Amino acid sequence: MNIKWLFLILLLFSLFGCRKEITNWDTQWSFPVIKDQLNLQDLVTDSLTLLNDTNGCKLVYDKTLYRIKLAEFIKIPDTTIQSQLAINFPSLNVSPGTILSQKDIENKLEIGDAELKKIKVKKGAITITFLNPLATKTYYTIEIPSFTKDGVAVKKTLMAEKGSTNSPSVVKSTLDLSGYSIDLRGVNNHTFNTIVTNFDMQLDSTASSATKVTNKDITKMSIAISGIQIEYAQGYFGNLHIESSTELPVTSLQKITNGNFKLSEATVELNILNSCKLMAKGKINSLISRNTLSGINISFQNQQLNNPFYIAPAWTKDNQLITTDKKFIFNSSNSNLLSFIENLGDLYKINYDFELNPYGNLNGGWDEFFPTSEISLHLKSIIPLHIQVNNLNFKDTLDLDLSNIPNGKSIKSGQFKLHCASSFPLDATVSLILLDGFKNILETIEGTARIAGKSKFSSENKISNVYFAPTLGFFTKMNSVKYVIVKTIFNSVDKSFEIPYNGKIDFQLSTDFEINTHY
């Protein structure tokens, strides 16, 4: 027999084993995940600081809302100065080495109604071009006494090959003007916006014979000024009118979705600073707090709003620029400041007018600005943390990608345990909303208890244990989680309280999971 068949059967047995079922069992795991502390300093970011004095803890918001840089308004536009030179005779034989000159040519710049005397260039360039129609090599020398650097005026000699009347030869040179001073007062220092130039042309002295020149052989020179940025200027800057509005979003307040809080007091300082040596006139037209979620707009009410004010020019003392200012102080007694802040606006709009040199050239053209010169609008608010909070809803969305957690389907059940010790006088109820990549809600996990705050009548920090237990079905889809919304509802423990400067909450998160292992 069939030994061959026997072999075949055994061979098949050796190749095909038993089909394995799934092996599985459940395990219980507990371990720490997070341990940290949140204190008041951690919650204060960006432009916010804390001030702790004998009257208690205060939240200080200090920010420059807007800056008017004068250099943005006083500009020398790109322009080209042109001049030309020709003989007055119909025709003339000019000997080799002959020099023809034009001296003290005054070139006027168009700069609106500004009358500038001096400027210092931060950035910019000039391009000098000569067109030579003469039938001999010619040397051109350009001198610009108005442009100096370290006391030396711009002077440049260029050689142009021979050209013709119909086809002049061209020679060019570019010069970086960074750091140059420009005197715009003209030849006799009594005018403004004026550049003085000199130029010579010398026929090739090595030529073997005289060159015939006609009155149609016109040598052309151009100076193209471009990209001038001013670092310093002196003169009359003209009458400038700036009307603008600024929006100031406070994104952290967008996370407050409901509820309210009450302040006991607040102070806001609005300060306008002028570091330009010119007079300014201003007016704040409106200041609005907008809560985009509730749609409520509150206009700031104060009698000083909508009234014009004047700011004196900055001045110099011992070579130091002294800034002038105009300060407004608002509080609950002279304005609706408390309700303005309690609106929890996440967008603030301020509308204002500024006019520079409102009465024209009163100082004989002695306006000045320096690299740091600006007119700026500063806001400083001081809010004592003596508040009352009622169902203040705070929502924050965080990225939480759980797609890489292996064997996510193996978690059968479980919970997180949050252990807290708080010295904040606030109760907090926390819930977690888990979302997929399309922001669909996968699971809402409510904390089993509130995180208790410390009463002002208690000396001990308040201990809380809160459990967060997802539903059983959640674990089969936890790999889809992309975001988590942490929703917290705050309430005052006592009716009115003061948040302590050293307030903190120690917390520790640990897990307790049942995991099904299978393979």
Partner 1 sequence: MQRLIFLFLVIIQLPIRSQTSLPAFIDTSLLRHEIVIQGKTDLYSSSLQNGFSNKLLFGGTFSSDEISKQVSLQDNHNSIGLESNTEIEYRNFTIFPKKNWGMLLKTSANTINSVHYTRDFFGVLFQGNHTYLGTPIQLNTSSVQSVSHFKFGIGFIHKKTKSNFSFNVFQLENYVNSCIDYGAIYVNDSSNLSLIDLKGTNISYFPSSKHRNIGFGIDLDLKIPINVFNDRKIYINIIAKNFGIGILTKDVQYNYIDTNYIFQGFSLNQLGDFFDNKSTASTTLQTLKIYSSHAMRISPLFGFIQFDKLNAQVTTTRYQSIFGARMYPSISFIPFIYAGVQIKCTSKIWLGIHENYGITNSLRTGLYLKIIGKNFGLNLGTENLIDSFRAKGRGRSIQCKLQWHI
Interface positions with partner 1 (CB under 8 A): 3, 6-7, 10-11, 14-15, 18, 20-36, 38, 398-401, 406-407, 410, 417, 419, 508-512, 514-515, 517, 519
Closer to partner 1 by CB, 71 or 515: give it: 515
Closest distance to partner 1 from the beta carbon of 468 (Å): 15
Query: How far lies 22's CA from each of 193, 218, 517, 519, in Å?
Result: 91, 100, 10, 6
Query: Which is nearer to partner 1, 306 or 407 (by Cβ)?
Result: 407
In terms of Cα–Cα distance, which of 153, 156, 149 is closest to 179?
A: 149
Closest CA to 382 of 505, 279, 263, 494: 263
**In the complex, minimum distance from the CB of residue 154 to partner 1, in angstroms, rounded to a whole number:** 53
Q: Backbone dihedral region of 150: left (phi > 0), alpha (psi from -120 to 50 degrees) or beta?
A: left
> Are the CB atoms for 447 and 418 separated by under 8 Å?
yes
3-class secondary-structure state, position 239:
coil
Return the DSSP state at 264: S
Residue 240 or 411: the one with the smaller Cβ distance to partner 1 is: 411
C-alpha distances in Å from residue 456, one per residue of 23, 54, 425? 57, 18, 7
Name the minimum Å distance from CB 71 to partner 1.
39
In the complex, what is the shortest distance from the CB of residue 335 to partner 1, in angstroms, rounded to a whole number? 39
Residue 508 CB, nearest approach to partner 1 (Å): 5
Decide whether 64 or 508 has the Cβ nearer to partner 1.
508
Transcribe 421-444 into DSSP letters: EE-SSEEEEEEEEEE-TT--EEEE
Residue 370 vs 475, nearer CB to partner 1:
475
Whether the Cβ atoms of residue 387 and residue 497 lie closer than 8 Å to each other: yes
Q: 11 to each of 1, 2, 4, 7, 16, how far by Cα in Å?
A: 16, 14, 10, 6, 9
In the complex with partner 1, the residue whose CB is nearer, 275 or 410, is: 410
Tokens read off for 165: 């009347």
Q: CB–CB of 194/154 below 8 Å?
A: no
Shortest Å distance, C-beta 5 to partner 1: 12
Least distance to partner 1, CB of residue 28, Å: 3
> From the CB of 33, what's the least distance to partner 1, in Å?
5
Name the residue nearer to partner 1 (CB basis): 210 or 509. Answer: 509
The nearer residue to partner 1, 250 or 515, going by C-beta atoms, is 515
